[in-house]
């Protein structure tokens, strides 16, 4: 009886102390993307911080206009960017297509975009579900398509190199 009660108690309490299912670290993400990059391109030879920085800074032309990661995030990924504090700026149109210069309900909500570089924001790239969601959303708006595993890995490799 006691063992059964103890077993039940452990089953109930164990999830409270377990890490979230989506918890990860940047290195685990890179390993996952490396496997995917190998599948996408058999000639894959590793991620490049130089390519990651170039992708992040590059202005991409899509059906919604010209956008770059740096338009909504800072050129210095260690900085916090203040967003949603007034009319939608032209450089925020990637996330707010068709709303440029117009007041929106979101403009009343001050929202900081926290640093992307893990050196400035250790919580970055520690939840695989959030990383997947935001890469999906941001790649769609900035590049007009899903980013490849190589592109994601290059960007993260660069961000990890920023001290």
Question: Is the pLDDT assigned to residue 122 strictly greater than 70?
Answer: yes
The pLDDT of residue 109: 53
Average pLDDT of 6-25? Answer: 50
Question: Is the pLDDT assigned to residue 83 strictly greater than 80?
Answer: no
Question: Is the pLDDT assigned to residue 137 strictly greater than 50?
Answer: yes
**pLDDT top residue among 94 and 10:** 94
- Of the listed ranges 58-72, 73-87, 99-113, 134-148, the least confidently predicted one is 99-113
Burial string for 92-125 (b: 16+ CB within 10 Å, else e) reads bbbbbeeeeeeeeeebeeeeebebbbbebbeebb
Q: What is the dihedral of CA 142, 155, 134, 32, to 10 degrees?
A: 130
- Of the listed ranges 68-82, 107-121, 141-155, the least confidently predicted one is 107-121
Beta strand segments in 11-118, E? 60-62, 65-67, 81-83, 111-113
Give me 158's structure tokens. Answer: 């660069």
The pLDDT of residue 26: 93
Average pLDDT of 132-157? Answer: 94
Confidence of residue 74 (pLDDT cuts 50, 70, 90): confident
**pLDDT top residue among 83 and 76:** 76
**pLDDT top residue among 160 and 7:** 160
CATH number of 20-161: 1.10.760.10
- Of the listed ranges 62-66, 123-127, 150-154, 156-160, the least confidently predicted one is 62-66
């Amino acid at each position: 009886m006691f063992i059964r009660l103890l077993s039940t108690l452990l089953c109930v309490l164990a999830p409270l102390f377990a890490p979230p299912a989506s918890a990860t670290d940047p290195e685990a993400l890179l390993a996952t993307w490396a496997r995917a990059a190998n599948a996408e391109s058999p000639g894959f030879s590793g991620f490049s911080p130089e390519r990651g920085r170039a992708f992040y800074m590059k202005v991409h032309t899509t059906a919604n206009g010209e956008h770059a990661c740096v338009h909504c995030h800072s050129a210095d990924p260690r900085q916090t960017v203040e967003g949603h504090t007034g009319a939608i700026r032209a450089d925020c149109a990637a996330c707010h297509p068709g709303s440029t210069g117009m007041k929106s309900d979101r403009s009343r909500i001050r929202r900081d975009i926290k640093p992307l570089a893990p050196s400035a924001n250790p919580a970055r790239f520690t939840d695989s579900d959030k990383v997947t969601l935001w890469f999906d959303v941001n790649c769609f708006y900035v590049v007009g398509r899903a980013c490849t595993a190589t592109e994601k890995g290059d960007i993260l490799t660069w961000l990890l190199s920023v001290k």
